[in-house]
Amino acid sequence: MLEPKVRIRQDRPRKDEKCYVYIQIIESRKRHRINLDIYIHPEEWDEKKSRVKPNTLGADDFNHKITGALSRINHIRSAYHFNQNRLTFAKLMREYDNPGTKEDFIAWSREEIKIEFLKGSFGEATKKIHTRAFDVMEEFADSIGQDSVLFSELGPALMADLDLYMAEIQRAKGNKGTGARLKLQCSIKKFLTLAKEQGMKFSEPFPRGSGVKHIGEEPLWLTKEQLKRVLLLHRERHKNWYLMEKPTMQIALLDFLVMCFTGLRFSDALKMKREHVKNNRIVLRAKKTSNTSGNIVSITITPILRELLKDAKEWHIKNRRNRYNEPCLLPQISNQEMNRRLKRIGKIIGLSQELTSKVGRHTFATTFLENGGTIDVLQRALGHSDIRKTMVYTHLVDKRKDDQMVDAFSDFE
């Protein structure tokens, strides 16, 4: 469907013997040319790569222009293909020449999310994050009396108002961090970059130095005593009618404890399989997202972890008609459902902080360091590529020691 190919026209050189580079598109056996306004000598053209040779003056700019033009054409083709519409050369040129500053940015971004997802640029979880970002942007537009946001309306002032709107939402939820605002900003920036690649015209909404600065809330973790209370609740689950009535509560509790004693992320813990258990260790590739390669982590199966894995096996047998043929070691649950159940579990055992699946990983790290573990071993256990990410936990442990020191001598003030 209107396949673009980059060519150099050597039969009609200019007086300086330079020839122009163009994009050729054939429609119904008729050849069309799109002039790229690039003029070079024939010997400066790489026929195999369809690009200007690197040693040519201005080669980087020329090749960037070629890549941008092809990207814009291919995007138009993908959009028509996705919507099952017939694309003609006339329609292609109309959209190619007029990217349109009056186009609806939100509607365009939603369409792009679908296209990029189908192309495999990101997974289901990232798709939900991007979709939610433009849901918020649409709610913001409605709050200021607009149906949507146009490309022509984008700018620093609008982004500042949107950030204030998002900050108000987070404040109402009791969230003092900037994580949600940063996700919103990152989603918008991603699709602004795509729009630029496709030739969209708009004012730069995020001048250098502007935007949300990360102010994360201090990670939460359980003390050894609190962890023992959670473990006791699991061991005495048959005595607790609330846990017995709701199987998802038992699953959330069991899976959370496994994270506390392995340091695995939610996604990695739930994908553990029997084949990952080797020589009294769990060995798997920990991946933060589906698009990252991940690092190999090796976790010793301690006695408490062995007990929890045995409980998981028993759960599978009991709830799967006495057959243990589940591919995953742990009972499966969504992250959202798990966090809802953990919130309730935290209240049952009287915890002041709100439990989430992330608390398990933080608990593993701080417990390991407080009991004499070293930072380099912890880095490998958590699968961190950058030691600076692991160093966060040393600051947390040091802060706890400082607080204990202050409390110990508070009576002498």
Give a yes or no: residue 178 inside a domain. Answer: yes
Q: Say how far apart CA 206 and CA 187 lie, in whole Å.
A: 13
Name the domain boundary from 97, 116, 133: 97
Last residue of a domain, one of 78, 97, 116: 97
Q: Is 256 exposed, middle or buried (0-12, 13-18, 19+ CB in 10 A)?
A: buried
Q: Residue 254's pLDDT is what?
A: 94
Let me know whether 331 and 403 are in one domain: yes
- How do residues 82-131 score in pLDDT, each as one tens digit? 667 788 888 888 777 765 544 788 988 998 898 888 888 888 888 999 99
β-strand 30-40 against 19-27: which pairing, if any? antiparallel
Mean of pLDDT values over 287-305: 77
Q: Are residues 270 and 400 in the same domain?
A: yes
Mean local confidence (pLDDT), 215-237: 82
CATH no. for residue 369? 1.10.443.10
Which pLDDT does position 401 carry in this prediction?
A: 62
- What confidence score (pLDDT) does residue 322 get? 44
Predicted confidence at residue 215, as pLDDT, reads 44
Q: Does 240 share its domain with 352?
A: yes
Q: Are residues 392 and 376 in the same domain?
A: yes
pLDDT tier at 412, thresholds 50, 70, 90? low
Residue 200, pLDDT score: 75
State the pLDDT at residue 83: 63
Q: Is residue 204 part of a domain?
A: no
Most confident of 128-142, 243-257, 277-291, 324-338: 128-142
Mean pLDDT value of segment 267-295: 80
Q: Check pLDDT > 90 for residue 79.
A: no
> Which has the closest alpha carbon to 365: 396, 337, 386?
396
329-341 pLDDT, tens per residue? 899 998 888 988 9
The total of structural domains in the chain comes to 3
Could you give the percent of the chain with pLDDT greater than 90?
A: 29
- Per this entry, what is the length of the chain? 413
Amino acid present at 212:
V
The pLDDT of residue 46 is above 70: yes
Q: Are residues 229 and 360 in the same domain?
A: yes
215: in domain: no
| Residue-wise pLDDT tens digits, 4-27 | 999 999 988 999 999 999 999 998
Which of 1-5, 38-42, 199-203 shows the lowest mean pLDDT across its residues?
Answer: 199-203
233 occurs within a structural domain: yes
> Residue 258 — pLDDT band, cuts 50, 70, 90?
very high
Residue 291 scores a pLDDT above 70: no
From CA 40, how far away is CA 9, in angstroms rounded? 10
Is 212 domain-assigned? no
* 84 inside domain: yes
Q: What is the mean pLDDT of residues 61-69?
A: 91
Q: Which residues pair with 277 in a beta bridge?
A: 282
> What is d(CA 39, CA 45) in angstroms, rounded to the nearest whole number?
10
Residues 91, 114, single domain; the answer is no
**pLDDT above 60: residue 413:** no
pLDDT in tens, 166-220: 888 888 877 766 778 888 888 999 999 888 887 777 778 887 655 555 444 567 8
Are both 38 and 115 inside the same structural domain?
no
Which residues, other chains included, contact 313 with Cβ-Cβ below 8 Å and sequence gap of 6+?
324, 329
Secondary element (H or E) of residue 70: helix 59-82
Give yes or no for a contact between 45 and 6, defined as CB atoms under 8 angstroms apart: no
pLDDT for res 288: 65
Domain that holds residue 270: 224-411
What percentage of the chain exceeds 70 in pLDDT? 86
Rounded to whole angstroms, the Cα distance separating 282 from 287 reads: 15
- Span of 235-239, 247-251, 320-324, 333-337 with lowest mean pLDDT: 320-324
* 46 domain residue, yes or no: yes
146 pLDDT band (50/70/90 cuts)? confident
Q: Quick check: 235 and 304 in contact, CB under 8 A?
A: no
For residue 240, give every residue at least 6 positions away whose Cβ sits within 8 Å of its Cβ, in sequence order, or none.
233, 348
The reply to whether 213 falls in a domain is no
The pLDDT score that the predictor gives to residue 321 is 47
Q: Same domain, yes or no, for 190 and 119?
A: yes
Do 230 and 157 belong together in one domain?
no
Could you tell me if 141 and 179 lie in one domain? yes
- The pTM assigned to this predicted structure is 0.55
Q: Tell me the average pLDDT of the chain.
A: 83
* pLDDT in the model for residue 410: 57
Tell me the C-alpha distance between 313 and 56, whole Å.
65
- The pLDDT tens digits of the residues spanning 361-399 come to 999 999 988 888 888 888 888 888 888 888 888 876 776
Q: In Å, how far are 117, 148, 402 from 112, measured between CA atoms? A: 8, 16, 50
pLDDT greater than 90 at residue 304: yes
Average the pLDDT over 135-152 and give the result.
86
The residue out of 97, 126, 161 marking a domain boundary is 97
User: Which pLDDT does position 237 carry in this prediction?
Assistant: 83
pLDDT on residue 289 = 52
Does one domain contain both 83 and 113?
A: no
Please tell me whether residues 162 and 86 are part of one structural domain: no
DSSP state of 277: E
Q: What pLDDT score was predicted for residue 102?
A: 46
